[in-house]
Every structure is written in structure tokens, then in C-alpha cells.
């Protein structure tokens, strides 16, 4: 099947394109990109609505899909539906399922579910240690062969410096990325929110930003020792960013991601004790938010990743200190990024595409990140000026735990194409009614 | 220019914290408590103010003192009262806080007096409940009736709150009594100095309106009121300080140290006291201590709060 995405503004930084182009998709592959392409016989024409922007498919390199084991929170199928509705053509899912994804069997199970859903691509991330317990190195070779693109003990930091060294050495040998959830558990203690004046006032136990910074310093030092690339999950403080910049400056292959809630909300949001403001790392003060935004703009932050962490409403209905950490993110990320970063003047569209597509593809070494001829047609169509009202009830994730209910934002997703298949179309965007129907809309 | 009309009721539906109260409301509660104390001095200590109202004392965390104080206050106001001690084990079983309270609400009480080990629990309930909620202590956050009874006690001895110099010494980090007192004393124009071993000083305490001191001596210097907070014995295991002995040496309130405060200073403690840990018996039992008076005032102040919240007609 052949079709042409006609007359869209294409923003494709990897190929140096920003302008009006046509894209010919044939049998799931980008056949040609050019201006005023001739229409091949039998090809369908999908006119890109005015104002929309065509980008390489967005990739979220940090999500929790909860399957196997916690299907009441999310399944692979519901997670990828949420992903494509959020503009993501691919997600990388963390191993803290039940059982933990520390074996080829679990990896294959997740991939089978993803294949059956046929929406977004799913790249499993394997556990770095058996059971993510921080004792025994996981069989990273087997995990890689089964389809894992990275390893992490996310939810927990890799427990000891010696084990982290071994993980870096061993995964580095196999060319598998190492991602760490950086947080000193002993300094975190029983903290539930950022340690600061707001926590003190609300009587909530604090986690100092330094718990994250100490661990990042450890890991960067070890990445230097082993000369293996290392990626910081959900970085949240100015001090952490300072450590990453310093690491990069001394030639260490360290990259990092920031979650939208950390550049949108501060710990002031804790007032009222809404458990949907409880996540780990916790919401930080304005000075940290400002530093993260500066890092997103100047390139020291490599990636925006959502840390999509679905939890059932009953779990979030517990008291603040008892409720689980985490919020959903797949279906709010694009709107928050547009509204708070692009329209606020901090970054331009090119940078947005780098943060959400080019860099995650490069860091994970997966397909995508560019609209190159011959590449699989993973394409996102964005609607930068679409007025969006965030409503959990209209989202596709099985869980509704997010603190953005009712927020009115400018910018959203128009359509998502994976392997040439239109998997999501947003009927709120004028002109998309003329496109073929999609499995998610 | 006309003066604003004196406040005659509380503006909020609930008493979740001192943070909800304006200074004129605090004064109203304290003035009402004066009248309530008089009820407690009669041979028949009962008024019909809350006759026909049902108040449930819902304690998710055990507390004898506060629960008893509320219960006596409710009975003196002729309310129908019910005590429910909810073990946290039902919460562990998967019942949410809201489930527990919805079950009780189904029986249509007028007021819930709630004590919970988690900060913010009363605020979370208030978003969903029809009943009026009185916070009887939520986690490390607030204990508003304690701060009100403390203020009442200070005012009855000093005649005012404005301009008082208050020293608060003890486990600041884990104290809801501290937080409510800081809010109240700041609103009423008193100044507060605090002292504790550094690991027990909350980050950003200055923002809460207290001046932290390195030593107890510095905090006590010239104080009108000395308030000691309870040291929980298990804090030692978490290395907040090395031993009770050393705690008493560095931060215990002794007769000698009391000499630094104003000669007419009063000594307060929310109880229960650890004698020989945060306070020496010579001070606890000495002429400046008003600790038992606090207990008596607690009933009057709680009567005032319940009356002001529940005595009017429901809309
Ligand atoms: Zn994590």
C-alpha cells in the first residue's frame, strides 16, 4: 500500500529538514521525501492539515507497562494505545513487572503482547541484576538476544558500586545501554516528597535532592572508570544536571532524561495532599525546575521521557505517605512540552524533536529518530496550536493517576503512524476526518 | 469609618488546621473557651448546645489523652458520641481511608473528630465527606486543638499573645504540635525560638516562622513561655541523637536553665512527659509548670471548637 503525506511542515533535524515536504510511504517504509512529489498510481493522498508538523516518530524511553503481573494498572495493549494517542511510535518499558523482566521468557512475553497489539513498538529493558535485587548480575546476553535494548534496576538504584561497575563492564561489552535510577536509598530513608520548606510545613517526610546527586556522581565516576555509556533516568535537580554537565565535559559518555512533571510542577503542588503529586524522584522547588528547563534548552538534557507509572485509583486513594509513587505520562507529554517549553519560548520545534525522537533513538540505538528514505515509516504528526483540555476520562491508559486534570494547554498530537500504519488519529484536528480511520482515535 | 463587625462563627466547615483560621477566629475560639471553662466549674457540667448531634471520634492512631479530652468536651455539650478506634490493619487489608470513613458517614454523623498517623489524612477526607471534620492530629502535620489550648493557657497567664517570646524545645521534626503552634503564634504576633539537636530540626523551619537556636540556653533567654516537646524513645535508634543521657545533658529543661527565662515564665508540655529526658521533675512539678492546667483547658477549648463548628444550623 502506498500513500503520500502531502504538504506538511516536516521537522526532521537528523536530516537537516525544516520545511514543506511530501512524504511517500510504501509498504511501511519511507520511500521518498521531497517537494511536490508525483502521486504514484493507486496511491492515497493524506493532506496534512494546515499548521500541523510532521516529525520522526516520538520515542519514550522510560515507561512502566505493568504487564506481566499488574494488569489492573496497565497492560502492554493499553499502554501502547496510550503511547500512540500520546504521539509515541515506540516506548522502552522498565523491568519492574511481576515477575521482574530478568529473563528471556519475560522479555518474549512482553514482545508477544506488543506484537499482538500492533500499535507502538515496545523495547523491553531488562533487569541489571537478578530480580533487580542488586546481588547477582542478570543474564544480559540472553536478555539482549530476546530483544532487550537496555538494562536497569529501575525503581531501585543498582545497589553497590561494585555491582554497577560489573553491570557497566558486562553490558558495555554487549553494547547494551545501562540506565540507573539514581538515588541513595539510605539518604532517602522513609522520605516521600522533596525535603524543603513545603515538606516541613505539610509534615511530609523529605528526600533531599542530594540523595539523587550523590548517586549520579557515583555512577558517572564508574562510567568514567569503565569507559561505558551510562544513562541517568528521570534526573530532577540542578545539582544532578551540574554533575552530568561536568561528566560530559570530561568526556564521559553520560546522557540523561527529564520527565515532563519535573519541568512543569514544583513542590508547591503538594499542598492539598493530592496523591497524584507523589512520584519518585519527587517534585522539586522552582530553582530546580528552572535549571532543568535551562538544561533542556541548552542541550545538557538529552531526552524527555515520561516515567509513565500507572497506578490504580484504589492504590492512590490511600493516605499520602502510604500511596504509591508515580503518575501516568504518555498522554500528556506532548501537550505539556508544547505549552510549557515551546510556546513559553524555551525551546523550538527542532529541539523538541531532538528531545523526544532523535536522541532517544540514538541513545537506545533503535530504529527511528529520522525521516530517512528506506527507513520504517514511524511518523508523528503534531498539532502545535491545538487547544487541549487534559481529561483522564478520555485517556487510553487503564490508570488515571495524573495531577493535570482539567489543565488547558496549547499543542497536541494529530496522528501517529507506525510501520506505515495509521494507528492514531485525533478527530479534534480539522481535516483529519478525511484520513482513513485508525485503531485508536 | 466603621469597624468591621465582630466575627460570630468560624468561616470554614471544618477545622483541619490552624492554617485555616484567621486571627479573629482564633480569638473567637479562645473567648468562647472562657465561657466553656465556666461550664466545667459548675456542679452540673452540661449544656444542651449540641443535643441531638452525633459526633464520631475516629482514631486511626491510638491516643488516650486527646480522645478522652474530646469525649468529655462532647458530653458536656450534650452531643451523642461514639468512639471508634480503627486499627491500621484494616487499611493494610486494602480498605482505603475513604472506604472506612464512607462506612461511618453512611450512618449520618454530624461531626467526625479524626486522628490519623498520616499527614494530610483529614484534608483528603474533607474533600469527600459531608460531615464536619475536626483534625485531632494528622501525622507530622497539624494538631490544631492542641495549639489552641496552648494559646488559651498562655493567654490566661500572660493576658495576651501578641509580643510574647516563646521557646519551643524538643523533637521539632516529628511534631505536629510544633507546626500548629508556629502557625498560631505567628498569626497572633508572638515570636518563637526553637532548639533541638540538629537532626531533629526540620529543613526550612525559618519559613515556618521560627528562629532556630543552637542551644537550649539561647532559646530560653528572656522567654515568657517555655514549651517542651516530647522526645520519643525510638528516635535514638535512628541516630537523631546518641543517647537519652546526652539529650538531657544538652537539651533537657532543668531548674538552672529555667533561670534564663523571665522570672514569671510558664512551662508547658503537651504530654506525655519523659521525666529526666526532656524535662527534669523539679521543673515539671515546680511552681512555673502549667502542664495540668493545659489538660483542663483542653476540654474547654475543644468544647469551644465543637460548639462553634456544630452548634449552628446546618445549611
Ligand atoms: Zn525510576
Q: What is the pLDDT of residues A277-315, one digit of tens each?
A: 999 999 999 999 999 999 999 999 999 999 999 999 988
Q: What is the pLDDT of residues B221-249, one digit of tens each?
A: 999 999 999 998 777 778 899 999 999 99
Cα(A280) to ligand 1 centroid in Å equals 7
Residues of A noted as catalytic = 307
On the question of pLDDT at A117 being above 60, the answer is: yes
| Cβ distance of A202 and B203 shorter than 8 Å | no
Q: What is the pLDDT of residues A75-108, one digit of tens each?
A: 999 999 999 999 999 999 999 999 999 999 999 9
Kindly report the pTM of this predicted structure: 0.92
* Other beta carbons less than 10 A from residue A402's beta carbon: 25
Q: What is the pLDDT of residues A248-287, one digit of tens each?
A: 999 999 999 999 999 999 999 999 999 999 999 999 999 9
pLDDT given at position B87: 72
Cα(A309) to ligand 1 centroid in Å equals 9
Contact partners, residue B313, CB within 8 Å, separation at least 6: none
Q: How far is A318 from chain B (nearest CA, A)?
A: 5
Residue B252, all three cell numbers: 533537657
Cα(A423) to ligand 1 centroid in Å equals 29
| CB < 8 Å to A187, chain B | none
On the question of pLDDT at B95 being above 80, the answer is: no
Cα(A345) to ligand 1 centroid in Å equals 29
Out of B97, B140, B203, closest to residue A318 by CB: B97
Window from A61-70, A197-206, B95-104, B262-271 with minimum mean pLDDT: B95-104
Average pLDDT over residues A20-44: 96
* Residue B44 vs residues A13, B41, B78, B293: alpha-carbon distances, Å: 85, 8, 12, 20
Question: In the A/B pair of chains, how many CB contacts fall below 8 A?
Answer: 71
Best B202, B206, B212 residue to mutate vs chain A (most A CBs within 10 Å): B202
Q: By the 8 A CB rule, do A388 and A411 touch?
A: yes
Determine what percent of chain B is predicted with pLDDT higher than 70.
94
Q: Which of A150, A148, A175, A153 is nearest to A164 (CA)?
A: A153
pLDDT given at position B274: 92
A199 lies within 8 A of chain B by CB: yes
pLDDT given at position B5: 55
Pairing state between β B225-228 and B132-138: unpaired
Q: By the 8 A CB rule, do B205 and B194 touch?
A: yes
pLDDT given at position B300: 97
Confidence of residue B128 (pLDDT cuts 50, 70, 90): confident
Q: By the 8 A CB rule, do B307 and B49 touch?
A: yes
pLDDT given at position B315: 38
Average pLDDT over residues B82-94: 69
Confidence of residue B129 (pLDDT cuts 50, 70, 90): confident
Q: What value does the mean pLDDT of chain B take?
A: 91
pLDDT given at position A60: 98
On the question of pLDDT at B7 being above 70, the answer is: no
Cα(A116) to ligand 1 centroid in Å equals 27
pLDDT given at position B284: 96
Give the residue on B whose Cα is nearest the Cα of A200: B202
On the question of pLDDT at B93 being above 60, the answer is: no
pLDDT given at position B312: 56
| Cβ distance of A200 and B203 shorter than 8 Å | yes
| CB < 8 Å to B208, chain A | 197, 200-201
Q: How far is A204 from chain B (nearest CA, A)?
A: 6
Out of A206, A319, A321, closest to residue B203 by CB: A206
pLDDT given at position B105: 86
Residue A280, all three cell numbers: 519518585
| Cβ distance of A320 and B203 shorter than 8 Å | no
User: At B194, phi and psi to the nearest 5?
Assistant: -125, 150
Amino acid at each position: 500500500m502506498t500513500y503520500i503525506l502531502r504538504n506538511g511542515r516536516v521537522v526532521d533535524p537528523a536530516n537537516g529538514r525544516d520545511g514543506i515536504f511530501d512524504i511517500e510511504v510504501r509498504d511501511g517504509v519511507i520511500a521518498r521525501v521531497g517537494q511536490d512529489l508525483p502521486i504514484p498510481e493507486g496511491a492515497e493522498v493524506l493532506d496534512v492539515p494546515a499548521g500541523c508538523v510532521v516529525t520522526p516518530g516520538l520515542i519514550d524511553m522510560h515507561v512502566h507497562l505493568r504487564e506481566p503481573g499488574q494488569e489492573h494498572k496497565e497492560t502492554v495493549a493499553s499502554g501502547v494505545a496510550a503511547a500512540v494517542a500520546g504521539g509515541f511510535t515506540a516506548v522502552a518499558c522498565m523491568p519492574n513487572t511481576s515477575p521482574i523482566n530478568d529473563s528471556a521468557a519475560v522479555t518474549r512475553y512482553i514482545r508477544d503482547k506488543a506484537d499482538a497489539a500492533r500499535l507502538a513498538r515496545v523495547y523491553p529493558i531488562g533487569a541489571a541484576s537478578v530480580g533487580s535485587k542488586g546481588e547477582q548480575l542478570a543474564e544480559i546476553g540472553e536478555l539482549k538476544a530476546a530483544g532487550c535494548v537496555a538494562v536497569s534496576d529501575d525503581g531501585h538504584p543498582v545497589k553497590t558500586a561494585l555491582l554497577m561497575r560489573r553491570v557497566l563492564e558486562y553490558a558495555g561489552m554487549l553494547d547494551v545501554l545501562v540506565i540507573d535510577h539514581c538515588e541513595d536509598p539510605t539518604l532517602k530513608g522513609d522520605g516521600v516528597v522533596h525535603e524543603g520548606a513545603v515538606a516541613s510545613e505539610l509534615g511530609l517526610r523529605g528526600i533531599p535532592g542530594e540523595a539523587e546527586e550523590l548517586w549520579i556522581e557515583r555512577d558517572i565516576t564508574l562510567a568514567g572508570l569503565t569507559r561505558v555509556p551510562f544513562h541517568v533516568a528521570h534526573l530532577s535537580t540542578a545539582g544532578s544536571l551540574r554533575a552530568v554537565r561536568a561528566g560530559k565535559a570530561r568526556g564521559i559518555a553520560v546522557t540523561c532524561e527529564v520527565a515532563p512533571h519535573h519541568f512543569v510542577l514544583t513542590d508547591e503542588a503538594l499542598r492539598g495532599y493530592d496523591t497524584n503529586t507523589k512520584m519518585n524522584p519527587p517534585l522539586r522547588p522552582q530553582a530546580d525546575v528552572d535549571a532543568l528547563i535551562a538544561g533542556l534548552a541548552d542541550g545538557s538534557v538529552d531526552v524527555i521521557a515520561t516515567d509513565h507509572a500507572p497506578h490504580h485509583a484504589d492504590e492512590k486513594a490511600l493516605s499520602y505517605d502510604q500511596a504509591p509513587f508515580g503518575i501516568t505520562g504518555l498522554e500528556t507529554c506532548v501537550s505539556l512540552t508544547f505549552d510549557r517549553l515551546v510556546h513559553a519560548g524555551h525551546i523550538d520545534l527542532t529541539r523538541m524533536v531532538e528531545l523526544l525522537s532523535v536522541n532517544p533513538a540514538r541513545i537506545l540505538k533503535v530504529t527511528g529518530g529520522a525521516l530517512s528514505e528506506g527507513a520504517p515509516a514511524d511518523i508523528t504528526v503534531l498539532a502545535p496550536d491545538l487547544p487541549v483540555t487534559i481529561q483522564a476520562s478520555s485517556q487510553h491508559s487503564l490508570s488515571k493517576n495524573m495531577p493535570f486534570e482539567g489543565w488547558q494547554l496549547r499543542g497536541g498530537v494529530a496522528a501517529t503512524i507506525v510501520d506505515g500504519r495509521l494507528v492514531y488519529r485525533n478527530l479534534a484536528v480539522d481535516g483529519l476526518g478525511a484520513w482513513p480511520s485508525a485503531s485508536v482515535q | 469609618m466603621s469597624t468591621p463587625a465582630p466575627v460570630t462563627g468560624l468561616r470554614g466547615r471544618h477545622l483541619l488546621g490552624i492554617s485555616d483560621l484567621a486571627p479573629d477566629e482564633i480569638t473567637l475560639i479562645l473567648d468562647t473557651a472562657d465561657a466553656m471553662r465556666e461550664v466545667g466549674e459548675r456542679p452540673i457540667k452540661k449544656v444542651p448546645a449540641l443535643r441531638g448531634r452525633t459526633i464520631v471520634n475516629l482514631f486511626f492512631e491510638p491516643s488516650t489523652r486527646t480522645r478522652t479530652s474530646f469525649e468529655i468536651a462532647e458530653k458536656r455539650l450534650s452531643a451523642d458520641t461514639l468512639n471508634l478506634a480503627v486499627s491500621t490493619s484494616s487499611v493494610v487489608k486494602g480498605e482505603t481511608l475513604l472506604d472506612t470513613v464512607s462506612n461511618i458517614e453512611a450512618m449520618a454523623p454530624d461531626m467526625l473528630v479524626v486522628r490519623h498517623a498520616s499527614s494530610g489524612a483529614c484534608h483528603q477526607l474533607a474533600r469527600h465527606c459531608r460531615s464536619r471534620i475536626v483534625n485531632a492530629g494528622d501525622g507530622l502535620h497539624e494538631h490544631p486543638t492542641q495549639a489552641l489550648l496552648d494559646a488559651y493557657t498562655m493567654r490566661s497567664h500572660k493576658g495576651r499573645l501578641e509580643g510574647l517570646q516563646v521557646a519551643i524545645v524538643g523533637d521539632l521534626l516529628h511534631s505536629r504540635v510544633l507546626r500548629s503552634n508556629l502557625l498560631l503564634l505567628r498569626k497572633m504576633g508572638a515570636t518563637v525560638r526553637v532548639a533541638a539537636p540538629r537532626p531533629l530540626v526540620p529543613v526550612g523551619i525559618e519559613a515556618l516562622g521560627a528562629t532556630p537556636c543552637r542551644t537550649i540556653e539561647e532559646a530560653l533567654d528572656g522567654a515568657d513561655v517555655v514549651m517542651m516537646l516530647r522526645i520519643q524513645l525510638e528516635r535514638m535508634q535512628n541516630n537523631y541523637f546518641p543517647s537519652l543521657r546526652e539529650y538531657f545533658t544538652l537539651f533537657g529543661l532543668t531548674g538552672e536553665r529555667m533561670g534564663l527565662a523571665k522570672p514569671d515564665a510558664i512551662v508547658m508540655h503537651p504530654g506525655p512527659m519523659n521525666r529526666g529526658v526532656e524535662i527534669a521533675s523539679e521543673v515539671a512539678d515546680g511552681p512555673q509548670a502549667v502542664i495540668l492546667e493545659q489538660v483542663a483547658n483542653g476540654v474547654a477549648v475543644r468544647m469551644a471548637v465543637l460548639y462553634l463548628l456544630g452548634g449552628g444550623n446546618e445549611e
